[in-house]
Structure formats: C-alpha cells, structure tokens
C-alpha cells in the first residue's frame, strides 16, 4: 500500500473514531427523499461491501480507490462508517440541500458558476443561479446557489467542516444538475482535507489529502462516464452500471479493469487488470472511449491540501469561502 492510500485509510479510521461523522447536521428537504442522491446512485456504480470488509482486502491500489470513492452508502446504516471521501456520502449530505433549496434560498443577483465557485473548476457545467443562502455555526458552514431550467434543477454548494480547526479543516464544493424528466445527472466535485502542523493526523509538518470527481450519467439507462482522483491515483471509466449482463470499464494509467455491473467489494479484490489489447468482451464497447479519455492530472488538477485553492480557506475556521 503506498503512502497516499495508507493516508486515506487512516483518515477514515480517524474520522469514524473521533467524531462519528464529518459533516454538519443534514438539512431536511422534501421529506428526506434526496432525489439527487437516488438519481446518481442509479446512474453510477455503487460497490456493495462484503459482510466482513476486513476479510476482503483490495490489494490493487486503483480498485481500492474506486471502492472507497464509490462504495455503496445507505443512510442511516452507514453513518459513522463511511466518511466524506465517498461520493455517495457527499451526495447524501449536499443532495438534501437540492431538495430544500426552493424553500430555503432567497432571490439574489443572478451569477454564473465560475463567478460563484470557491474552487476554479476547469469543467464547469456553465450554469447560472438566481437564488442562494449561506450559514455558518460551530465550525460548520455551507453556501448554496440554486437555479432551474425547465425540468432541470441546478445547485452549487460549498461547505466547510472544522469543529476543531487545530485538528482538521475540510473544505469542498460540489456542482450538480438533475433533470427529473430525462434522468440526466451531472456532478463536479472537489474537496481538500487539511491536518494542520502539530495535529494528531498532521504530525509536525501537517498533512492532508484531496479528492476530485466528474460524473455524467442517466438514472434511467444507467449509462455513465466518470473520472476521479485522490492522492496518487487517477481513474477514468465508462459503461452501464446496472442490469444483468452489463459491464463498465475503468482505466488507471495503462491498466484496464473490466467490471460487471453488479460488482461487489470481493469482485474488486479478485480483479486482475489487463492492457488495452486484452480488454475482455464485456468492456469492448467502451475501450476506445476509455482509452481516449483524459484523466485528472495529479500534479495540477487536484485541489491544494493547504486549502489555498478554496478562496480564503487557509486559516482557522474560514468564512470567506462562502458565496453569499
């Protein structure tokens, strides 16, 4: 296990052991249905953990990262088990803002995503927002921008988790769109976690990790494409995430992973990568697109772990990352 992956595993253990949850109280919206969470889960793979996760060690780094980011998350059963390094946990927390935004957000001057986001995405969805709200209390904060276009609901959320800023500061941003008629969903996500110098996890010099993901899919057809990165691992993928006989194909560097749509943690642990020439039949339909996909550059595309890529997000318990 390399240093980046080892750090990620330690992060999960620390968050679960010390605080039980690394996000503020979840807002209630639309009776807690969280339509965005459900839609993305129908579009993108959600790997089922084995009953005894510790017995199914995934030795392949790319598959370990894929499992961590796309591990199935169910609320409330996985509270205190899965942290905000998991895209579904992030979607559960932020997706409920989408449910509640029409009632929660007030009219503001219309602005575009690239003017509002505290992180400089290079792949903005190009949306504008006309409603918003911000709040901060007890080391937690969030800022929500909301808009609609026909049946498509659009949201841009920045958030901060720093109830003990001497030990950990997490800042993230997620941009999403969901069309309830077509089933199309789009997600852009970036997050940095900073352990300051002298903290339990940071040691003398401080440390941290960053995550980034881009997801486009459809909750009806279950077709998707994605790219995601954390630490020293960058993955691209495409395929069909649901249904008997369907497959999807992931690539990390020159290694290809052909994965059945119903893959579990144990399946990922047993998976042996191939090269492009030997991609199994299940991934044949996707290999050209996956081969041509441009992954995140680990040196330039991941947020800085000193939080400097989130406007004003370096010192203490910052508030200047808030958009409104």
Q: Is 280 exposed, middle or buried (0-12, 13-18, 19+ CB in 10 A)?
A: middle
Residues of the chain with pLDDT under 70: 1-32, 52-56, 312-320
Cα distances from 151 to residues 182, 185, 221, in angstroms, run: 9, 12, 18
Q: Are 54 and 37 in contact (CB under 8 A)?
A: no
Give the pLDDT score at 178. 96
Separation of alpha carbons 31 and 47, rounded Å: 26
Q: What is the pLDDT of residues 76-111, one digit of tens each?
A: 899 888 888 899 998 998 888 898 999 999 999 999
**Torsion over CA of 156, 161, 162 and 168, rounded to 10 degrees?**
-110
Tell me what pLDDT residue 148 has: 95
| Domain coordinates in residue numbering, the chain | 3-22+30-292
pLDDT of residue 184: 97
The pLDDT value recorded for residue 52 is: 59
Cα–Cα distance, 220 to 186 (Å, whole number): 14
CA–CA gap between residue 41 and residue 264 (Å, rounded): 15
State the pLDDT at residue 20.
28
């Amino acid at each position: 296990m390399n240093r980046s992956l080892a750090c990620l595993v330690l992060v999960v253990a620390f968050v679960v052991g010390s605080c039980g949850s690394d996000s503020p109280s979840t807002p209630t919206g639309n009776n807690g249905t969280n339509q965005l969470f459900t839609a993305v889960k129908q579009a993108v793979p959600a790997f089922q953990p084995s009953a005894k996760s510790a017995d199914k060690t995934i030795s392949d780094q790319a598959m370990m990262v894929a499992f961590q980011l796309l591990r199935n998350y169910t609320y409330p059963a996985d509270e205190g088990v899965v942290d905000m390094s998991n895209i579904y946990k992030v979607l559960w927390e932020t997706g409920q803002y989408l449910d509640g935004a029409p009632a929660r957000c007030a009219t503001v001057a219309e602005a575009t995503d690239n003017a509002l986001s505290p992180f400089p995405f290079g792949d903005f969805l190009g949306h504008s927002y006309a409603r918003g709200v911000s709040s901060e209390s007890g080391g937690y904060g969030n800022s929500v921008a909301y808009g609609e276009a026909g049946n498509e609901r659009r949201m841009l959320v920045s958030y901060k988790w720093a109830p003990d800023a001497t030990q950990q500061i997490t800042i993230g941003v997620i941009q999403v769109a969901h069309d309830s008629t077509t089933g199309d969903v789009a997600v852009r996500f970036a997050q940095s976690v900073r352990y300051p110098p002298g903290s339990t996890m940071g040691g003398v010099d401080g440390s941290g990790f960053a995550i980034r993901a881009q997801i486009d899919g459809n909750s009806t057809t279950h077709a998707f494409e994605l790219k995601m990165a954390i630490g020293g691992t960058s993955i691209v993928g495409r395929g069909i995430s649901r249904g008997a006989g369907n497959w999807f194909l992931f690539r990390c560097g020159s290694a290809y992973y052909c994965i059945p749509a119903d893959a579990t943690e144990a399946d990922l642990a047993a998976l042996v990568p191939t090269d492009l020439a030997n991609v199994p039949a299940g991934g044949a339909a996707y290999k050209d697109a996956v081969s041509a996909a441009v992954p995140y550059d680990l040196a330039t595309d991941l947020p800085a772990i000193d939080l400097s890529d989130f406007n004003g997000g370096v010192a203490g318990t910052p508030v200047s990352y808030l958009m409104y």
